[in-house]
A and B are shown apart, each in its own frame.
Chain A
Amino acid sequence: MIEVSALTVRFGGVTPLDGMTVTFPAGTCGLIGPNGAGKTTFFNVLSGFVAPAAGAVRAFGEDLLAMAHYRRARWGLRRTFQTEQAIEALSVFDNVALVHEHSAARGRSTRRRDVLGALEFVGLEVPPREPVATLGGKERRLVEVARAVVGAPRVVLLDEPAAGLPDEETQHLARVIKRIPEELGALVILVDHDMSLVSACCEVTAVLDFGKLIASGPTADVLRNEHVIRAYLGTEERL
């Protein structure tokens, strides 16, 4: 469970997050909102790239913001980026091993098993020794997700993981995402503009608009919420 209370981020005169208070209970939780709503800023606060002006984040009872940013990965915080960040100079195996050797599950004896396990988990069918530089976009995405699930993850942040993927691949990704809480016990927060992906994966969803939380609750209810529809379409009309 992640409890966010009164989280505020200011960049000069801009307030990308304005007193955000929300609880992500368990399983896969959606976080949606129009462009510039503050979704990625929220992820950056959790990752430690952005220091909030006020507020607190407690993850499974621990004060996440008090941890040094690079230590959060060892604690079990994982994320993928809007623009995929698989490391080109390394092989598929080394990409995942890099995260494993800085995780709580690190250790030479478990590395090979865990890394290959993560690659199997995401259904990546390329040789582990293949350099990432030779892979296509879909495979790189899966490498990134494998990096997010290896070595005892507790919280997995996925920032638009389906961006640029064709429908078929998105469905595969949805199945993988749903299995993260079920089989690994990690809490997933999914940011995406693809509402079918969010509906398919998330039991609960929170909605940000201009840095403020405008709705949260069961996904189906949230997507029918008037404020949400207005925020997305900018009109009073219903979808």
Chain B
Amino acid sequence: MSVADEHSTEVSVGGRPARTARAALAGIERPVAVRAGLVAVLFLVVLIGLPGLVSTFWLQIATNVAIYSIVTLSLAVLVGRVGMVSLGQIALLAVGGWVALRLGFGTGLPFPLLLLATGLITGAIGVLIGLPALRLSGLYLALITLMAAAAITVVLQVTNFPNGGSGLLGYSGARAGTVSSALHRPDLLASTSAFFRTVVIVAALMFALAAVHVRSRAGRAWAAIRQSQPSAIAAGVNVTLYKMWAFALASFMTGVAGGLLATSTGGLSTYAFPAQDSITVLAVVLMGGVYSFWGPVVAAVLLKLLPEILKNWGLPPDLLTILFGLGVLQVMLTAPAGLAVQVPKDLANLARLVRRRVAPG
């Protein structure tokens, strides 16, 4: 997995220093290699080392962070690459969970195929929702997706998550007390650490999928659409098609995340996916940063790890609603590229400052 991040290489536009061609190229390409190495090392440490370092409780939290990083990734792609704001990702996550449970109880699909099928079906549902919405943009698209999310939530309250019952809905009230809406894990993934590793690998695959898209024909078309639709059309980009593609990709990824969530400990309950959570997801995604692939990782940490840390300290996790509000304000005003870009920049500045202090002159 590599981190594609054109925006961190931005140089101040106003006072652009005269640089030779080679220096400019080297300046762009060397950090890419360094970053790719850094990502690989970090990935391996998390994958291999983390299960041995933390307790089962924190490992479950880490699993949750990895699952939600796929959700935040999908929204970051929509917002950062295409310029579309969706407030329906949490509802799609629930749809993914429902589809995975239905397939899990109804078919004997092996786990990887089940995840893939879940992603594809959720992708198709996402496109169906998006189809009428794609004619709109900005605030109206956000509003429509929020409405759709609310509608899905209402439907879910009625249908419930499948728990092995009969019929199309697969829910049996009689089993509700005894069988939880959780997917049976393959024996290979039974342990917490094995499941964690699986989730991390699936998440990495999703990030790779997004990275490949961003660097390919689709990513270029999205960049054109985000900047100006008329200029994208003039360049021959079928704007509706590529927007739909982005929506389908984001829904696919969120669906896969839903499938993972349905497999994690405890199973799914309908009250765990309120429509307003999508707004919180948007807030943390904006804070983390939408132009870099580190952003969604930071966002998932804010979303799923931070509340647990607060609880651990005896503080109410509701505090986060206020913190996220202030955080979005702060990020939008001072660091529109998000924490994932701003913090390393600030650290580099700090290091330079310290170095100057240590070795004066």
A residues sitting closer than 8 Å to B (CB atoms) are 47-49, 69-74, 78-79, 81, 85, 87-91, 94, 97-99, 101-103, 126-127, 129-131, 133-134, 136, 147
Contacts and interface: CB of A to CB of B under 8 A. Distances in A.
Interface stretch (B46-54, B136-144, B221-229): B221-229
Given A126-B21, A134-B10, A89 B223 contact: yes
Contacts of B25: 127, 129
A94 B227 contact: no
A49 B16 CA distance: 36
Interface in B326-342: none
Given A85-B230, A130-B28, A133-B13, 4 more contacts: A70-B238, A81-B234, A90-B223, A127-B24
B228 A98 contact: no
B283 interface: no
Given A48-B233, A98-B220, A101-B220, A89 B227 contact: yes
A102 B227 contact: no
Given A70-B239, A74-B236, A130 B24 contact: yes
Contact of A78 (B221, B226, B234, B239): B234
18 contacts: A47-B234, A48-B233, A70-B239, A73-B235, A74-B236, A79-B234, A81-B230, A81-B234, A87-B224, A89-B6, A89-B227, A90-B6, A94-B223, A101-B217, A101-B220, A129-B29, A131-B9, A133-B13
A85 to B, nearest CB: 4
Given A98-B235, A134-B13, A136-B16, A88 B220 contact: no
Contacts of A133: 10, 13
Contact of B231 (A81, A126, A130): A81
Contacts of B6: 89-91, 131
Contacts of B239: 70
Contact of A103 (B29, B224, B236): B236
B237 interface: yes
Interface in B8-32: 9-11, 13, 16, 21, 24-25, 28-29
Interface residues on B, range: 20 to 34
Interface pairs A-B: 8 shortest CB-CB:
A73-B236, A102-B236, A85-B231, A98-B220, A89-B223, A99-B235, A127-B21, A70-B238
A139 to B, nearest CB: 10
A70 to B, nearest CB: 5
Given A126-B21, A136-B16, A85 B227 contact: yes
A78 to B, nearest CB: 7
A91 B21 CA distance: 14
Nearest to B81: A89
A93 to B, nearest CB: 10
A89 B230 contact: no
Contacts of A71: 236
A97 B6 CA distance: 16
Contacts of A131: 6, 9-10, 28
A78 B236 CA distance: 9
A73 B224 CA distance: 14
Interface string B66-110: 000000000000000000000000000000000000000000000
Nearest to A81: B231
B7 interface: yes
B87 to A, nearest CB: 23
Contacts of B226: 89
Given A70-B239, A134-B13, A134-B16, A87 B233 contact: no
Given A49-B230, A89-B227, A133-B13, A99 B21 contact: no
Given A127-B24, A131-B10, A134-B10, A94 B233 contact: no
Nearest to A125: B21
Contacts of B231: 81, 85, 87
Nearest to B80: A89
The listed residue with most A CB atoms (<10 A of its CB), out of B28, B224, B234, is B234
B235 A102 contact: yes
A65 to B, nearest CB: 15
A157 to B, nearest CB: 9
A101 B218 CA distance: 11
A133 B291 CA distance: 14
A47 B230 contact: yes
A69 to B, nearest CB: 5
Contacts of B233: 47-49, 69-70, 73
B11 A90 contact: no
Interface in B211-264: 217, 220-221, 223-224, 226-228, 230-231, 233-239
A70 B224 contact: no
A27 to B, nearest CB: 22
A102 B232 CA distance: 10
A114 to B, nearest CB: 14
A133 B234 CA distance: 20
A73 B233 CA distance: 8
The listed residue with most A CB atoms (<10 A of its CB), out of B9, B236, B239, is B236
Interface string B24-62: 110011000000000000000000000000000000000
A126 B9 CA distance: 16
Contacts of B9: 131
